[in-house]
Structure 1
Amino acid sequence: MGPQRRARAVALALGLILGGSCLGQLPVYASTQLARQAYEAYRNKNYSEAITLYKQLIESYPLEAQYPYNLGVVYQEAGQWDNAIAAYRQTLDLEPEYFEAYNNLGAVYIQLKDWEQAITIYAHILKFRSADPLAHFNLALAYDRAGKFDLARLSYQRVLQLKPDHSAARQRLQQLAQRTGGSLPEARLVVKDAARQQQYEQARTLTEQKRWKEARPLLESLVKAHPDFVEAQYLLGRTLSQQGQHSQALQHYVRTVALRPDHVAAHHQLALSYEKLGQPHKSLEVLNNLLAIKPDYLPGRYDLGRLYDESKISTRAMATFEDLLRQDRQYKDVLYRMGRLHHLADQTEQAQAYYQESIRVKPAFAPAYYQLSKIAIQNQHYDSAQQLLSKASQLSPDNPEIFYLLATVQYHQKQPAAQSLKHLDRALQINPAYTDALSMRGILYYSQDKVAEAAKDFEKALSLEPQRADLQRNLGVAYVKLGQGGKAITAFENYLRYQPDAADREKIQQLIQELKQLGRRNG
């Protein structure tokens, strides 16, 4: 009788050993290095590389508005106007008052000679930044090009009121007077509640710098004095979310939505707050409401599918992701998620097709490679699995599951046990609490007659998953070989308690009786 492993996706065959593997999580990496590489590529005018890197950052950090904004800047520099517009719009979906994105979006529309769109953009900015000379100048330029000369004249003059040494505004104002023969009247614009707006802009700047602690009192003061100030309510919610104060943040998102029912970002953040607070059903409700308001809002549809997936509502998850793929076939990791959903439903051919398409669309996405390797292992295509896992390990060198699967493949390829043990050691170095890796290493130690080491691994794995029947059985086998009959009896009894319908139940019961009789004789 040898040790046994629980059956899941991958099977081993060490005597009576049954094998398994856990679905792992791709670790989240800090963005600093990748962001630095993207910026260096942009600075060196290597726009193609910068675009690729910023897209990777967006996939990894889908709620960080700075990355689609930076992508928009790169597209703008590269003259890819439609892509720049899409990137800035994505930024504004995440943060509706990301003024730099509005400013650049307006500049793109000016470049495209779409004056009406540019006017709309800069007029919106000035609702919140009424003392911004750059926004006034750009609005004046759009009015000028659109033939709205009176409005252009007033806007140029407002620039000079705010910044008397603005030579471009002065020059264009003179040119406008020469073209139209008009005089240069003084602009008479009223700036409402400038102090309130200045405080909001100060808080906004602090949040852009991720200085949440400093921004919070400014925003709390603003919403106390001006409870109907929509964007201050929203920004305070975002600040509280960043500080982990999700219950308080939720209150401000609710207030934002009450003041502006079509505030897309507030709906989205409200849903995420409910998720953080352990109320996924409320999150699903909010996301469905959001998509009724804005059906083409892909971040919301993605999170809806993700939550259905994580809530084990697979049919709705698939339907939601299929809707999303009809709008954008390359969106984030949706192809991969569809593959995994089919994989979990034992629909292997569909899963394989989605994983392969995911790799074609995103060649640097490691999870698709190692999920494909599991299918290859199931089909006993070990050489193919080895190639897929080698690629995955290059892309994700700190993912313990990849090394666990490499150990599994090398065992099936009848490689020396030392090779598999090396990979298992690496997996456990990354994640010391990886129970499947501990279990498999214990089995390999047992096969090499290193029974004491095997018992230690089984014991540690059981400290993490005490109700795992296969580990209880394996530990019992190791204890028998170590001559520790009392401990073996306890482990075997636990095995039968956790797996009462075990195929070897009678054999284990007989062994327990023999161990008890042996203990009485020795006693």
Structure 2
Amino acid sequence: MVDVKATIAKGLEALRVKDLKRAEAIFQDVLRIQPGAANALHFMGAVRQLEGRTAEAERYFRDALAATPEDAGVHNSLGNLLNQMGEHEAALAAFEAALSHQPDLTTAMLNAAIVLQKLGRHDDALARLEALPTDAQVLTARGLSLKELGHLAKAEAAYRQALAVNPRYFRALHNLGGVLSLLGRAPEAVSVYEQALTIGPKVPELRYAYATALYDTGDVDGADLEFRTAIALKPDYIEAHDALNRLYWQNGKQALFGKSYSVCLKAVPMSAPMREAQVRALELAGRHTEALAAVEDALRIVGTSPALLHRQARLLASAGQMEEALASYNGAVKKSAAFAAAPIWLDKAKFLTRLARYDEALAALERAEDVMPHDQEMWAYRGLCWRLMGDSRAAWLNDYDTFIGADIIGVPDGYDSLGVFLKALGGVLAPLHTSKSQPLDQTLKGGTQSNGALLTRPDPVIRALRREIEKVVAAFIARLPAGPGHPFLSRKAAGFRFNGSWSVRLKPGGFHVNHVHPKGWISSSFYVAVPPSVSEGDADHKGWIKFGESGAGLAPELETVARRICPAPGLVVLFPSYMWHGTEPFADDAPRITAPFDIIPA
């Protein structure tokens, strides 16, 4: 008589060493003897999962649960499979079922926390993680949620605790480097990444992160090498290609711009995402003829992917081929899932606005809003359409008197005057402007922008600036009226956090094109230094910030400036992130230095 328990143990040993054929033969032998044997069904599911045959794996797991519905281990295995398949809500339900039958099953607790992180529910994830033993994996998972919630110092502490438990825990080292970079401590991040490289030298994501930290320290050549190493390890690593080509653009190596895409497409010729990234880069660089040729090649080679049709539509519109562009937009949204279609609907709305087809543009914006209700560009175009149609909702959305604030910061502790502080701040910001050209994908023309998050830097002068800015922002939010149903006022909350901060140094003749900040709630310009010609009495408003005039490419007679503010050293100007704004150029030899930032509710 066959000893089923001993046979299953042999199958598990084969499964442990990944001898899947032997494991399958053993478990199938058991199922021939006992067709409903729950353990054999469970472990056959594990075999199929390792083989990548997910549908069969799910069927085995569910058959095992039909036989033993209270088996927490099977619920946990099903949850892992569903998580792997991207079905995160269903995976969470499976882990919850496991815990309902075995509340102390720590693997299910940890797995539930990881899925909650993927669902963006980081507070819930932390609550689960707090109940688990503090090993390196759990502490690292805590660090991830703390980072996503904006608690960077606490995230750093969690990662360091994980490394105290296991100094060679790769994920903790990798994630610690990322937090240190966010905190503006790039040299420390470089050191941590170098430790991680002794463990995982061939991990492309680590090489990319290391390159980014090197770039933030000013080591352009080192960053160049590491971005290229990441690409060599993973030829279709789009983020690394984008970063490498931005580096070339901003550091006087425009002749190399775009070449990495061409070289690597020889290795991955059928990669639609890589081809779309190449077209996007060429479009950003203003090389529209090349971009259109590249997208047409891509569509011929890999077929009509939504992303490629989207790029084609943009390029055809810029070339004045309006009917062809509309057809490509329609094809792109038709082929896209709802979530992926939202940015295409938004771009289609921009296109329709330029054609003065405002009702159709508003309908497209409604489709975008279904997926991204807080996208600020979407609201900017909605307000623009309302204004051009004479709709009173334009004034409701853009109340330029109530929604724009302008206040001078206080004098930080330890400084005799605001002028003394701003001079010290200028000295801290100057070394951050190391690039030779303006960023490829930003709004400034004739200037440079710093890298990384400015207001997380550990420099005491930056910390003093942040404290004073926080006071002004808190007072501005407190003054805002209540407004349920309003896209700006309804997001009012007691807490807030920075969602991006940087420094801009405009040269003579420099300016910002009219734009909005898509991922913010409140945006700002803080003025560090202002050229002499920028003054209240200037009828030409040189160097002033202006509101209301769009960057939508409309005929000049359709544009209007609703409000202007004259910059002054120490002034913080705050406004809704969806509000169109730009600046007038100036001609002084002295630069115009600002420290803009975005705020989101916390």
TM-score (norm 2): 0.44
**RCO higher in structure (CA 8 A, sep ≥6):** 1
- More helix as a share of residues: 1
Identify, as 1 or 2, the structure richer in strand.
2
Q: Which has the larger radius of gyration?
A: 1
TM-score for both structures, normalised by structure 1: 0.50
